[in-house]
């Protein structure tokens, strides 16, 4: 299977500190690949190196078959990059903004490209509405329209659904899957676990280091965490007792239950077993992707400490 993104050992430093530290990622053609991690983990910097906006200090690789060091200008012209923040002219209409973008990409005839893009993204009826008057969901749709108007083979999306309501998020992901089915490759950074689960593969980065890659099932399995669900009275007191107890790495309330997660299954089982005789119901739980990511976020801090 051809890899649209194949970068190895990517490093970017600012003031002597590596904000991206030897990151290697492969993304196959037609794949939707999720890029996850906490704020400040290096996601945006990595994406900018991939799309030719930043030059890596170390590392090598290709994007769309082009060298990330030598062919940055050609890469920029062939990818669609959607930034975290809405970056269009708010005093121009949707149509006027797209006219501007079409001229930037030197698309001809401009009118035809804009018309087709408006129809493709369902924006025709709103084409004369000012961008500044759009809701978050429609701003997102305008941004996506601008990214795909030149028909890129690779779409790089940097937290595209932040601040967007669930319905708009669902519609956005339907669009992404439709385009991936047509052969477009997508790398999307997100904080939402439900969005990560809609990706074909995921990559988790923290403190500039890539910690996990694979399908959702693979990443959860490789984390090797054990999860229990506890029901009973005075769960707040139980949570206080379990926090920091032997074998317990995470304790979190979920509605009327507690989810308890640990890496050492035997030690966790001993600690949890003591609750079974005190009027509590304890049953095995399913480790979620969120549990894994919370664990991955904590481990680098422990290493640094």
Q: Are residues 31 and 95 in the same domain?
A: yes
Asked if 256 and 147 sit in the same domain, the reply is: no
Q: Is residue 32 part of a domain?
A: yes
pTM of the full structure: 0.88
Task: Please tell me the distance from the alpha carbon of residue 273 to that of residue 295, in angstroms, as a whole number.
Answer: 22
Q: Is residue 302 included in any domain, yes or no?
A: no
- Report yes or no on 296 lying in a domain: no
Residue 304, pLDDT above cutoff 60: no
Bridge partners, residue 60, by sequence: 8
Is 12 in the same domain as 130?
yes
Structure tokens that stand for 84 in this block? 């975290």
pLDDT at 215 over 80: yes
Residues 6+ apart with CB under 8 A from 264: 226, 247
| Domain carrying residue 89 | 3-215
Q: What CATH number is associated with residue 173?
A: 3.40.50.300
Domain termination residue (choose one: 182, 215, 248): 215
Same domain, 13 and 81: yes
Is residue 302's pLDDT more than 80?
no
Are 106 and 13 part of one and the same domain?
yes
Give pLDDT, residue 276.
Answer: 61
Residue 87's pLDDT is: 82
Mean pLDDT score, 66-74? 94
Looking at residue 262, which CATH number applies to its domain?
3.30.70.920
List, as own/partner pairs, every contact residues 178-184 make where C-beta atoms lie below 8 angstroms and the sequence separation is at least 24, other chains included.
179/148, 179/155, 180/30, 180/31, 180/32, 181/30, 183/29, 183/30, 183/153, 184/30, 184/148, 184/152, 184/153, 184/154, 184/155
Identify the three-state secondary structure at position 69: coil
For 122-167, give the DSSP string: T-GGGTTSBGGG--HHHHHHHHHHHHHTT--SEEEEESTTTT--HH
Q: Are residues 85 and 18 in the same domain?
A: yes
| Per-chain mean pLDDT for the chain | 91
305, part of any domain: no
Distance linking the first and last C-alpha atoms of the chain: 41
Q: Same domain, yes or no, for 57 and 141? A: yes
pLDDT computed for residue 305 by the predictor: 37
Two tokens, residue 58: 């170390």
Closest among 239, 223, 241, 240 to 231, alpha carbons compared: 239
Give percent above pLDDT 90 in the chain.
Answer: 75
- Domain co-membership, 71 together with 114: yes
The HSE-up count of residue 283 (CA atoms within 13 Å, CB side) is 6
Kindly tell me if the per-residue pLDDT of 80 is higher than 70. Answer: yes
SS (H, E, C) 238-292: HHHHHCCCCCCCEEEEECCEEEEEECCHHHHHHHHHCCCCCCCEEEECCCCHHHH
pLDDT tens sequence across 46-55: 999 999 999 9
User: pLDDT tens digits, residue range 237-261?
Assistant: 899 999 999 999 999 999 899 999 9
Q: Note whether 198 and 231 are same-domain residues.
A: no
Contacts 24+ apart (CB under 8 A), 254-260: 254/229, 256/231, 257/229, 257/230, 257/231, 258/229, 258/230, 259/227, 259/228, 259/229, 259/285, 259/291, 260/227, 260/228, 260/229, 260/230
pLDDT value at residue 232: 85
Report yes or no on 133 lying in a domain: yes
- Tell me, yes or no, whether 158 and 258 share the same domain: no
The pLDDT value recorded for residue 2 is: 79
Report pLDDT for 184. Answer: 94
Do 202 and 270 share a structural domain?
no
């Amino acid at each position: 299977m051809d890899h649209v993104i194949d970068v190895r050992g990517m490093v970017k430093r600012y003031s002597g500190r590596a904000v991206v530290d030897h990151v290697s990622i492969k993304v196959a053609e037609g794949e939707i690949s999720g890029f996850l991690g906490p704020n400040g983990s290096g996601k945006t910097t990595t994406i900018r190196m991939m799309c030719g906006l930043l030059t890596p200090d170390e590392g090598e690789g290709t994007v769309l078959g082009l060298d990330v060091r030598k062919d940055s200008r050609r890469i920029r012209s062939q990818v669609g990059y959607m930034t975290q923040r809405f970056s269009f002219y708010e005093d121009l209409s949707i149509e006027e903004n797209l006219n501007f973008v079409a001229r930037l990409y030197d698309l001809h005839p401009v009118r035809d490209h804009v018309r087709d893009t408006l129809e493709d993204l369902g924006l025709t009826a709103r084409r004369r509405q000012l961008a500044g008057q759009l809701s978050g969901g429609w701003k997102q749709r305008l941004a996506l329209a601008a990214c795909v108007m030149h028909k890129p083979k690779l779409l790089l999306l940097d937290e595209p659904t932040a601040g967007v309501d669930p319905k708009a998020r669902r519609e956005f992901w339907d669009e992404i899957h439709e385009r991936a089915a047509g052969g477009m490759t997508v790398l999307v950074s997100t904080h939402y676990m439900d969005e990560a689960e809609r990706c074909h593969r995921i990559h988790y980065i923290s403190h500039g280091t890539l910690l996990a890659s694979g399908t959702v099932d693979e990443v959860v399995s490789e984390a090797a965490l054990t999860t229990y669900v506890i029901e009973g009275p005075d769960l707040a007191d139980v949570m206080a007792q379990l926090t920091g107890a032997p074998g317990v790495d995470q304790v979190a309330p979920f509605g009327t239950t507690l989810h308890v997660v640990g890496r050492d299954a035997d030690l966790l089982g001993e600690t949890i077993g003591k609750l079974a005789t005190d009027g509590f119901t304890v049953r095995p739980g399913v480790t979620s992707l969120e549990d894994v990511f919370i664990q991955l976020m904590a481990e680098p801090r422990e290493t640094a400490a």
